[in-house]
Amino acid sequence: DAKTTQPPSMDCAEGRAANLPCNHSTISGNEYVYWYRQIHSQGPQYIIHGLKNNETNEMASLIITEDRKSSTLILPHATLRDTAVYYCIVWETSGSRLTFGEGTQLTVNP
């Protein structure tokens, strides 16, 4: 699976959009981009995934660049409960293991 690079930490004001970047320059054609988040000491929570096109669900939007070498997770109106570590994972899904990196610690401030 391709490796990902994320900033170690980010801050966001409550009510503002949080834009979390992820670089995955070695991604291959059959690998998906997945985002999970983990609130302290809880199990990781699935957020969204995509292959080529931008995706949106009730939690977030995922913007993938045309060359697929980077992506951005957007939380449109961040709340204090969105404070968590966010993991960007590139995954072929034919394999069964997710490879987690260090992730980005997002802190939403009041």
Q: How many helices (H) and strands (E) does the chain have?
A: 0, 9
Structure token pair of residue 72: 């951005």
Q: Which is nearer to other proteins, 41 or 67 (CB)?
A: 41
> Per CB under 8 A, which region of 2-10, 19-27, 75-83, 96-104 contacts other proteins?
96-104
CA distances to 8, 36, 104 from 11, rounded to whole Å, are 11, 18, 10
Residue 40 found at the interface with other proteins (CB under 8 A)? no
User: Binders of other proteins: how many residues, by CB under 8 A?
Assistant: 21
81 SS3 class: helix
Q: Does 53 bind other proteins (CB under 8 A)?
A: no
Q: By the criterion CB under 8 A, which residues form the site for other proteins? A: 32, 34, 36, 41-46, 49, 51, 93-102
